[in-house]
Each structure stands twice: as structure tokens, then as C-alpha cells.
Chain A
Amino acid sequence: MTFMAKPKVAHPELPRNALGLTRRDYEGSNSTLCAGCGHDSITASIVEACWANALQPQNLVKLSGIGCSSKTTAYFVSGAHGFNSVHGRMPSVATGANAANRKLHYIGVSGDGDTLSIGLGQFIHAIRRNLNMVYIIENNGVYGLTKGQFSASADVGTKAKKGEVNSQPPIDPVQLALTLGASFVGRGFSGDKRQLVPLIQAGLRHPGFALIDVLSPCVTFNDHEGSTKSYAYTREHYHAAVEADYVPRAEAIAVDYPAGESLLVPLHDGSQVRLRKLEPAFDTRNRANAYAYIDAKLHEGEYVTGLIHAQDAPEHELHAVNRTAATPLNRMPYERLNPGAATLAKLMARYR
């Protein structure tokens, strides 16, 4: 962290998005995380992605649980709505909010502890319900906030700061999500914004649950020699399978990619995110293929990053399945929300 907040003074020539805003307009309050924490870079990537997608700040909802990672929703888009819930329970709050208002964009930020330990049950159901949100796991292999205990994503053989070696096998959120049929699954690294920002941009446009697992070194408790989640180790073992680019609107019409090699995710201002395959053997649209590929790489000690799996038009989205109303509940007339005492009495009569 820094003792003083980033001052408002800015570069006078910063580019502006379709709303006339600069990326500085998407910042939040001063981060209180340790200086150098990967989570802060993810925050910066979210800022960049929201700016690039020209999101109206008031149309964004930020949700989180507990942990250093979960604190970060305060550090971006201060004009957005937010809910900092209890440990591991962000998915329920997200589900409720989403059910009540489907017109907003939802970004959930969680940690490997928050998601894979205490919150695993909730996480699974959010996928199962195909909640329309971006779910970011800031994955550092430890419980940062409680001083560095191994989390459920710690690799076998990785060393804690004091030397203790982990022997429990990890849960890989990406593989878990694939087996559950998640419709958008990506992995990034906090130290590679070039890849991460377009992934978030695409996730925000995906009409369903978009999981992005981001390797995010804990600079204080998990950045030492022997850790498999340090900056140095991650840089050596992360393996980009897909390269993502943001294609501005002016260029979008002109680009033409060979089919099967790239996936264009259209953005509402006419621009696109282009995801380009770097591995010929890899097919993002084929879930089984994607699973097999990352599983094989994981056994070689490599984290595959990029967009791992995406369905163009996922079916079973929460609102479709539950046939919810299109109008946000807060815009519905009271009479429709509350059918009244007479209707209730009629209903109750059925159980007598």
C-alpha cells in the first residue's frame, strides 16, 4: 500500500472511451494491500477492461467475500454498486442481486481460500446456475489475509515461507469449472496485463458465468524460493495457449482471421476482443479437448493461460431457466411485486 492515495492529477492526453472517460475515471479508493501484491495488478486490469468496454460505472456491481483479494472491490470503479459479503458467500449474494436485476454487469472478486476452501459449495452452484457474471479468483496459493496458511490451491511440494512443505493435492478451479460445464473459462497471470485485460473484457461480454482464474503472487507470504506461486516461478511455468487482443472499432471490420484459429468476441461499442490460438492442438470450443490439454500440461508442471473454453451462446443461463422477469425488480410497479392480501388468501386456501 501507500500512505497517500494516488492523487487525481493525470496525464493531460490520456485516451478517452466512447463515454468520454479516461481510465482514471474507473479507479477506486487507495489500495491497502502489501506493496507489490499481484491483486493490485488485477485491480488495474479490471479498471482497464471496464474503461475499454466503455461500461457506465453505475451499471456495474462489484461483489466479494473475505480475504485480501476480496478487499479489492473497493479499489476499482468507485462509481459502481458493491457488496462485500461474508467469507465464501459471495455467490449467494451475487445470485440474489442478479435475479433482482439482470440489466447490470456483475464482477465477483474472490480468493483461492474464499472460493476453493470455505466457499467451494457456493462456487459450484454459481456455475451450475450459470449466473451471468465475471468471477475472478485471485489465486495466490495461500490465505494472505490470515498470514499465509496453505490454501486449497497450493501445489504438492510447494514450500511455505517458514519452510513447511505442502502434501495435499490442489483443487484446480479451471478443471473444476470445466467438469461442471462452465461456459467461459480462462486463466491469466497478474503479471501479464496484455493477456488479462482482453480476457476480462471478453468475460464481461459473455452472456453467462465467466470464470477467470488469475495467478496472483502474494508478495509477502508466497513469493519466496520454493514456492510454486511466486512471480519468478509463475513466469517460468505459465504457458499462453491463446493470445488475446482488443480490436478497436475502426479496425474491427478490416480484420479477417482464418476460421478456427481465432475467436472474435464482439463488444457493444462495435469493437471486438480477438482471441488467437497459439497452440494448434488446442480447441477452445471443445470442452473435452480443452480439459485434456490443460490436464496434460498441468502434469508437466505448466499452467495453461488464456481463454481455455468458451461457448458462443450458452443455453441454461439463470434467467432463461427460471423464466425471470426482464424488468429489474426495482422498476416493477408495487402491485406486480406484491399481488396483495386477496391473492395470498387464495394461495393459502390451496394448502388447507
Chain B
Amino acid sequence: MEPTDTAEPDYFHKVVDCQWACPAHTDVPEYIRLIAQGEFTDAYMVNRASNVFPGILGRVCDRPCEPACRRGRIEDKPVAICRLKRVAADHRDDISALLPRAPEQKNGKRVACIGAGPASLTVANDLLPLGYEVTIFEQFAVAGGLMRTNIPAFRLPANVLNEEIGYIVSMGADLRLNSPIRSMKQLLDAKEFDAVFVGSGAPKGKELELPGRRDSDRIHIGIAWLESVAFDHIDKIGERVLIIGVGNTAMDCCRTSMRLGAKDVKVMARKPRKFFKASAWELEDAEHETVQIVVNRAPKSFVTKDGKLAGMMFEALEYDISGGEITATRVLGDEFYPCDDVILAIGQENAFPWIERDIGINLDRWNVPVVDKTTFQSTRPEVFFGGDAAFGPKNIIWSVEHGHQAAISIHKFCQGESVAARMPRGLTLSSRKMGMHEWSYKNEYNAAERRLVPHVGLVERFKKVNVEVELGFTAEQAALEVQRCLNCDMQTVFTAKLCIECDACIDVCPTDCLTITHGGEEADLRTRLRAPARVTAQPLVVSGALPQTGRVMVKDENLCVHCGLCAERCPTAAWDMQKSTIHWPHAGDGETACRPKQRQSA
């Protein structure tokens, strides 16, 4: 193996597993440390710089960071990254002075955003401080997109949405509610805007055309039904409800049903549990609320009796599974499940009935727009897409990152620069050495187990449809949970020419990450390390030849707990602990935008 090029900016970024896995590259270890120091406001602002909605995401983020968290490889459970985000949001002070502001003097460019979901709001958040005039068109009377209309209030209260959307709107966005765009052609022909961002989401719930589908009005489409609940158009449901599908929408539908009078709610799944799309924690919450999950049942028909929905017929299935894949399916027979209502929650699609097909915006044969994966530009140069509208339904944090990237593109486009030329990513390292054995971070490993977020009791939570179920960590819980973070951004940086091969670092490393051995190819090296290094997704760092013997220092990044003991034991400071700060570009970086200092403390 050639010596590893750790100067490549992504190298150390990947070591910070959570930050690398976060679509918006939130600086997780930094905000967790700030919480540990009681700097909640700064922790909030570090979050906001990349994910824009810390209070919202601290409750409902899909949290791709958590399965990536190194702690989850050392022991069972990752750090409760998401719930710590909420801690920052819950305990922050007034942040108005720290928010970016729009300059008095505008730059003369106008941008339209269609839809007031997280994608559009992020575009506005990034462009307003640069002097753009941003107009947001929203068909409904409230902003927030699916966060408002579909994510139930018992998971995401309205005041949290209002507050964080308010920060952006009050920067000076021209938010036009009750203003559906019915013709893209008209909008573009009017030439009122220099660029248009389409953040209209994936608003169409998928249909299930089975016999009997049209025979009853008690068969609902999940996302439309949740929207009606959010707008108070629906406030009750029958006692027995069947939910078809087992994704996150199904979880919200079943839990909402429990709050509207249902007593017996069954989520009907076609496949076994390990193939479910819903997040483990959503399933857990639903089952805790006595929702039943029925597996291996494929819907066959809707059954009505005397003009009234009586139930549904299913085929009971049996599967052969090998190597995690279904290899064969057998039908065992029909089974009838009685019910009063059915909610279909089997997916969403994009729909653009308002985009004319002859205006240069190409849609593919599935009616999905042709959008560049990096620039988010459509085939019509001044039109950009992002969020669920771009590549189909994802989640809030992806919508935010799309918004950031689209904002970069729109800014470049409006300034006459190449949209394709992206801004470089960067990384800076700075030593944390304070004294012989002192580091300016808490390097001690804390063996605490993951804390559990307290929940409102089962009786209390069903009293109203909008009682928030999760209470957030207590101060004591948060204080312990932050100590579980391994500080993966405190990088181990090696200088080969200083090493005297005394083995001190190797002996002291608790997780046996380090080995001095003769060089070789990666596959061979992996067999010669002090401890098994089977996780090939995690890199080996290989040094140049060591001065005394010409051997090499090899580090397996996989299980390093960033305790700094290697650097503490090293007599020559060949190992050093250096904090990496990752620069993930945002629109207008390096320009004198109207951004106040985004932190309170030094």
C-alpha cells in the first residue's frame, strides 16, 4: 500500500462517521461538546449552519448519522445524536442577534421558490443574506410542506415549526400563502424572476387499484388523510382500522388513528419484518401504543356488505429467505380482516400537472424531471429542483442539503458563473496539545450506556391529537449522553519521521488499532494487524517508512475511540491529536455576506 494521503480533504472527514453520513454534514462532535460545556446557543447555531432546522430535526430527523456512529461499532448503541440536537434547541437562549440578516441593499436578482417546504426554505435561508429577493409561493395557508401537513403534531409540534420557519421568513422572504402555481409557463414567461427553484415535494399518494376500491368512501390515501387531519378536516375514524404498507407514513397513520378513536389498528405488511421500510424507533413507538403489525399478508380485495366497508381480503404468504434475500414466495390461502376504515400508505410520487411539457423542462418517462445530481439544475438553465421534487421522496435533511446545493447553483447562475464548477471542500487541522498529557478536549472514555428519552404516559398522550409524546432528555440524561460521544473529529495525526518505534502507542491503544509491521498490499496487511480488521469500509492509514527499520505504522480507523492515549504515550509526539474542522461549502462562502458572528462564546 502507498502511504495514505491524509491531506485529501475527505480523508479526515470520513473518520467523523456521523458528519460524513449526514447529508448536510452537520458538525456533530462539535455541537455535542458545546452541549457538554453548557453552550446550548452555540450548539444550536453550529447545527443551524448546516441543517437549518435543529429544533425540527432534533425531533423527527431520519438520522442517517446514528447507524454510522462509531460508538455503535464499539458497543450496541450509537450516541443519541438526534435527541441531543433537540437538547440544544430546547435550551438555547434568544438567537435573533446571531441569525444571518438580509442586507438593506439588494443585489437586484429575484428568485422564486415554489412550495414552502424545507427545500425552498433552505434556498431562501441561503440566498437572502446575499441580497437576493426571494418569493415563496405556497398553495396552502401555512408554510412547512409535509413537515406541517403530514408529520403529526404529536411528533412535531406547531410552535417548533413556526419558530424555525419564522427565522427565515422574517429575514425578508416574500412568503405568498394560498398561492398555488398553476402554470410554470406563465411564471417563466412573466420574466419576473432571474431563477426559479421548484421545491413542491412529492405530493401524490400511491393508489391500490384492487376490486372494490371504488365501492366505499372509507378507504383513504395516507398522505392526503394525514393532511386532512392536520387541517382539522378529519377528526375521527372507525374503531377498527387497517393500514396498508409499513413505511414511515404507515406509522404516522396508525398512531394518528389511535388518537382519533380507533381501538384496533393493524398495520398489514406484505413482507417479513427485516424488509420493513419504517425506522426501528417508529415501529417501536407504534407497537408501544398497541398497534398490531401483521406480516406476510398481501392485499387482495376490499369487501363491502350492504354498501358499507366490511373489511379486506388478504393472501397469506410464506417466503424462503436466503442470504437476506427472498428467493421464493408461496400463497398459503385467503384471509379476511374486518375493519371500518382502510388507510393506504404504500408510497408517494412526484406530480407536476402544472409544468407544461413544451417549455424546455424535460421530464423522463416516469414524469420525473431530469435534474443534475450535483447542481440541481433542470434542462432549462434558470430552473432548479430540490427536495422530494427532484428525485422522489426522501426526508427533511436531504431536502435541506438539496436546498444548500441549489442555492450555490442559483447564486453562481445569477452571477454569471459556471454552475458546474463547484466550490472546493476544505479541512483544517489544529493540535489539541496543551501540555505533556493535556488535551483541550475531554479524552476520557465514558462507558455509559445510551440514555432513553422519557415519553408521556399512554393515557395522557391520547387525550388530544397534538400532545407531544417525547419529552426530550432531562439535564442529567443529556450530561451523560454527551460523554458517550467519542470526539471522532479529534484526529490522530502521525509524523513518520519522528517515530522511534518504541511500541508505546501500540501497547496503550485500548482497541488495538495500531500495528508496526512491514509494508504490503491492503488485503495482506489486514491479516497482519494486532486485531482483526474485517470492516473494509473503514480505511487503514499506512505511514511512510519509519526511520529506524523501514517498517510502516498502520492504523485501522474502524474502532479508534479517539482517546488520545497513543499521542499521550508517544515520547516524540509522532502521534498528535488534532481537531479537524470541515468546510462544507454554502452559497456565498468567502463573500462579505450579511452574517453576524454565528457563535456567542469565543
Contacts and interface: CB of A to CB of B under 8 A. Distances in A.
A6 B568 contact: no
Contacts of A3: 437-438, 568
B532 A13 contact: yes
Point out which of A12, A35, A190 has the most chain B C-beta atoms below 10 A from its C-beta: A35
B570 A7 contact: no
B503 A35 contact: no
B74 A219 contact: no
Given A2-B569, A12-B74, A35-B569, A7 B447 contact: yes
A157 B500 CA distance: 23
Contacts, number: 97
B565 A2 contact: yes
Interface residues of B, number: 33
A1 B548 CA distance: 23
A9 B500 contact: no
B174 interface: no
A309 B513 CA distance: 36
A38 interface: yes
Contacts of A41: 502-504, 507
A10 interface: yes
A2 B439 CA distance: 12
B443 interface: yes
B549 interface: yes
Interface string A23-66: 00000000000111110110110000000000000000000000
A226 interface: no
A9 B502 contact: no
Contacts of A7: 444-445, 447, 510, 561, 563
Nearest to B73: A12
B572 interface: yes
Contacts of B570: 35-36
B474 interface: no
B326 interface: no
Contacts of B531: 11, 13-14
Contacts of A44: 503, 506-507
A92 B429 CA distance: 55
Given A3-B437, A9-B74, A14 B512 contact: yes
Given A38-B502, A190-B503, A191-B503, A6 B510 contact: yes
A223 B510 contact: no
A9 B568 contact: no
A2 B512 contact: no
State the main secondary structure of chain B at its contact with A. Answer: loop
A4 interface: yes
A11 B559 contact: yes
A207 interface: no
A231 B549 CA distance: 11
A192 to B, nearest CB: 9
A191 B438 CA distance: 27
Contacts of A268: none
B548 A2 contact: no
Point out which of A3, A8, A193, A232 has the most chain B C-beta atoms below 10 A from its C-beta: A3
Contacts of B438: 3
B511 A35 contact: no
Given A41-B502, A191-B503, A10 B510 contact: yes
Nearest to A14: B531
B445 A9 contact: yes
A219 B502 contact: yes
Contacts of B468: none
A198 interface: no
A4 B444 contact: yes
Contacts of B508: 2, 6, 40
A235 interface: yes
B571 interface: yes
B528 to A, nearest CB: 11
Nearest to B74: A9
Contacts of A34: 571
B501 interface: yes
A232 B500 contact: yes
Interface in B514-559: 531-532, 534, 548-549, 559
Contacts of A91: none
Contact of B572 (A1, A13, A36, A190): A36
B511 A231 contact: no
Nearest to A231: B500
Interface string B564-595: 01001111100000000000000000000000
Contacts of B572: 36
A191 B563 CA distance: 24
Interface in B36-87: 74-75
Interface of A: 1-4, 6-14, 34-38, 40-41, 43-44, 190-191, 193, 217, 219, 223, 231-232, 235
10 contacts: A4-B443, A4-B444, A7-B510, A9-B510, A9-B511, A14-B531, A35-B504, A36-B500, A41-B502, A193-B503
Given A3-B438, A40-B507, A219-B571, 4 more contacts: A7-B510, A9-B74, A10-B512, A11-B512
Interface of B: 74-75, 437-438, 443-445, 447, 500-504, 506-508, 510-512, 531-532, 534, 548-549, 559, 561, 563, 565, 568-572
